[in-house]
Amino acid sequence: MRRSDSLALIALAALVVATPLRAERAVLAPVPTIDAAPTRKLETAVFAGGCYWGVEGVFSHVKGVHLVVSGFAGGPRDRRVDYDMVSGGDTGYAEAVRVTYDPAQVSYGTLLRVFFSVVADPTTLNYQQPDHGTQYRSALFPLNDGQAKAATAYLAQIGKAGLWRDPIVTRVERFTGFQNAARDHQDFMRKNPRHPYIMRWDVPKLAAFKAMFPTLYRETPSA
């Protein structure tokens, strides 16, 4: 184990003791053995990991991330949806976020590592903690071949790592487009830091990210 990982585990242990209300169990996922090739332009990645408030909240504090948008992915390309429709659980869409990042500062593989370390439990099928239904599934939506190879390889890697008791159920899904959520769902964690749901389920995720990845964390979130 690298010294930086050992320090992250010590910080995480202290966090667990100090935080009585926790979301998904934070796990220090391994460094990806296969990553998407870096480019000289901003890239976009799409993740689904339960309620998008917390997913957006964590990724917006990652150094190198320029923008995070909450929305929906995974359903039919030709169907327009909104929050109420997706909440019914029968549209095929999942709550998701679109992350615009600078691969010169943070790689796609690093985003995957953050996602599985503190954002989503990859062993819970069609739910994340209090939210149940296919709209809350964890899924990766690669936008190019490099992301697809990295995502597939990383799921296999964490599946063999034995960090979770149950099997990995997160899947790589075909990207059919992304639809933005309504304005009042954007930057929800930043705008509503004392909201009961945010305090109970999402603040611990952000605290775990800060403790486990201090060199990646930035205090001021992206726009």
Catalytic residue annotation: 51
Determine the 3-state secondary structure of 145 from DSSP. helix
Query: What tokens does 122 get?
Result: 């990859």
DSSP 119: I
Q: How far apart are CA 222 and CA 85, in angstroms?
A: 28
Give the closest residue to 67 by CA, choosing from 114, 100, 96, 45: 100
How many angstroms separate the CA atoms of 110 and 51, rounded?
21
Angle (CA) 109-111-112 rounded to 5° is: 65
Alpha-carbon distance of 117 to 26, in angstroms, equals 6
Strand spans (E) along 102-187: 127-128, 131-132, 138-141, 171-172, 178-180
Is residue 66 packed enough to be buried (19+ CB in 10 Å), middle (13-18) or exposed (0-12)?
middle
